Amino acid sequence: MMRGMLLGAASLVMALAGTLPAAAQEVVKIGLILPMTGPFASTGRQVSAGAKTFMEMKGDTVAGKKVELIIRDDAGVADQTRRIAQELVVNESVQVLAGGGLTPLAMAVAPVATQAKVPMVVTSAGTAAITKASEFITRTSGTLPQYSLPVGTWAAQNGIKKVVTLVSDYGPGLDAEKWFTKEFTSKGGEVSEAVRVPLQNPDFAPFLQRVRDAKPDAVFVFLPSGVGSLFMKQFADRGLAEAGIKLIATGDVTDDDILNSMGKPALGTITGHFYATAHDSPENKAYVEAFEKANNGMRPNFMSVGGYDSMALIYAALEKTKGDASGPGFMEAVKGLSWTSPRGPVSIDPETRDIIQNIYMREVKEVDGELHNVEFETFAALKDPEKAEAK
């Protein structure tokens, strides 16, 4: 009898010893797949640095679980993104996927997320249709319709009558062209020509000549992050500003990461976007400070905030599910989440799983000897217009 009790107590102690450390070490693995090399490496560098900054600021545990971030390079090639996503889910037992540096890369993950029921948090890509490709996709960047519509409103209200649009010829560019044009023309403006440039290795010169010949009041531009400096140089070389053509764009063109290198020709450019390094809030001040300290003074751009907020979203969802990362429950938890981002207040639209956020109109100005996107007007709590229209 006594011996049995002792044995029972001993095995209870052993059982506790066996489970406690294991429970304390339970891990949630997050697979972040990004273009860390190739022409869009700046996006991978910024997104991964933003995600890591979140973990440095908020710690690496949530809801009693240890968070492990696995970063993989897809070099911007969609077939690789899909292969890496599969490999991470099957061999590494990753419970949440994140990344999607460009639209084709985000789209490549959609079937993997659906099949494996693994959530995918899109940090960067901006084509509206992406969140429709899988019930398991949510997004912390935003959509090109969201960034472009306010630029159309602003242009119509600020004496611009005739515009030529110039966009990269793929998903986000076509979305930008459509929503700038729709808004601008509905308010009385005229879009006289729609120019589309190739995504890969663009030479803007012949396209800028077409813009110049059309003699518009302004050219509205979307180009993916990282391409803006080359464009700005050719815009200046071709003398479009001297010809009286104003540059208006989505903030992807005056990306904070490379804005300083663009120099004087960038001054006065008007853009719409969700994040500027110069955004004035205590949350952003803390973010910029932590980011620059951890990254040798590198300036955080909007891509980094997509990365930071992907972790903010994952942490908040896991808190809600008490650490359970299984797909369907996680996706339910994501719907309606809200938090204060370095960009301002954000929430996840429970109907579309896309992000609801402020879009700011900004002007490139010199502040303390550096170029910045300086916000001057806010379009508050915008939903993705493409999905709002479809309803």
- Please identify, using beta-carbon distances, which residue of 123 and 358 lies nearer to ligand VNL: 123
- Please identify, using beta-carbon distances, which residue of 101 and 344 lies nearer to ligand VNL: 101
Q: Are strands 355-367 and 370-382 parallel, antiparallel or unpaired?
A: antiparallel
- Please identify, using beta-carbon distances, which residue of 125 and 276 lies nearer to ligand VNL: 125
- Closest CA relative to residue 176, chosen from 220, 123, 129: 220
- Please identify, using beta-carbon distances, which residue of 88 and 125 lies nearer to ligand VNL: 125
> What's the rounded Cα separation, in Å, for the pair 33 and 48?
9
Provide, rounded to whole angstroms, the least separation between the CB of residue 161 and ligand VNL: 28
Provide, rounded to whole angstroms, the least separation between the CB of residue 349 and ligand VNL: 18
> What's the rounded Cα separation, in Å, for the pair 26 and 177?
47
Provide, rounded to whole angstroms, the least separation between the CB of residue 324 and ligand VNL: 31
Unique residue bearing structure tokens 């994952």: 314
> What's the rounded Cα separation, in Å, for the pair 53 and 251?
22
> What's the rounded Cα separation, in Å, for the pair 190 and 306?
33
CA atoms within 13 A on the CB side of 348: 24
Q: Are strands 270-273 and 355-367 parallel, antiparallel or unpaired?
A: antiparallel
- Please identify, using beta-carbon distances, which residue of 290 and 359 lies nearer to ligand VNL: 359
Provide, rounded to whole angstroms, the least separation between the CB of residue 112 and ligand VNL: 18
> What's the rounded Cα separation, in Å, for the pair 105 and 272?
24
- Closest CA relative to residue 271, chosen from 253, 245, 256: 253
Provide, rounded to whole angstroms, the least separation between the CB of residue 384 and ligand VNL: 13
- Closest CA relative to residue 86, chosen from 109, 58, 70, 69: 109
Provide, rounded to whole angstroms, the least separation between the CB of residue 226 and ligand VNL: 6
- Please work out, in degrees rounded to the nearest 5, the angle formed at the alpha carbon of residue 36 by the alpha carbons of 225 and 129: 50
- Please identify, using beta-carbon distances, which residue of 125 and 219 lies nearer to ligand VNL: 125
Provide, rounded to whole angstroms, the least separation between the CB of residue 93 and ligand VNL: 29
- Please identify, using beta-carbon distances, which residue of 40 and 235 lies nearer to ligand VNL: 40
Provide, rounded to whole angstroms, the least separation between the CB of residue 355 and ligand VNL: 14
Helix (H, G, I), strand (E, B) or coil at 350: coil
- Please identify, using beta-carbon distances, which residue of 107 and 333 lies nearer to ligand VNL: 107
- Closest CA relative to residue 180, chosen from 141, 205, 130, 216: 216
Give, to the nearest 10 degrees, the angle between helix 41-58 and helix 282-294: 110
Contact residues for ligand VNL, defined by CB under 6 A: 40, 43, 101-103, 124-127, 171-172, 224-225, 252
Q: End-to-end CA distance of the chain, in Å?
A: 72
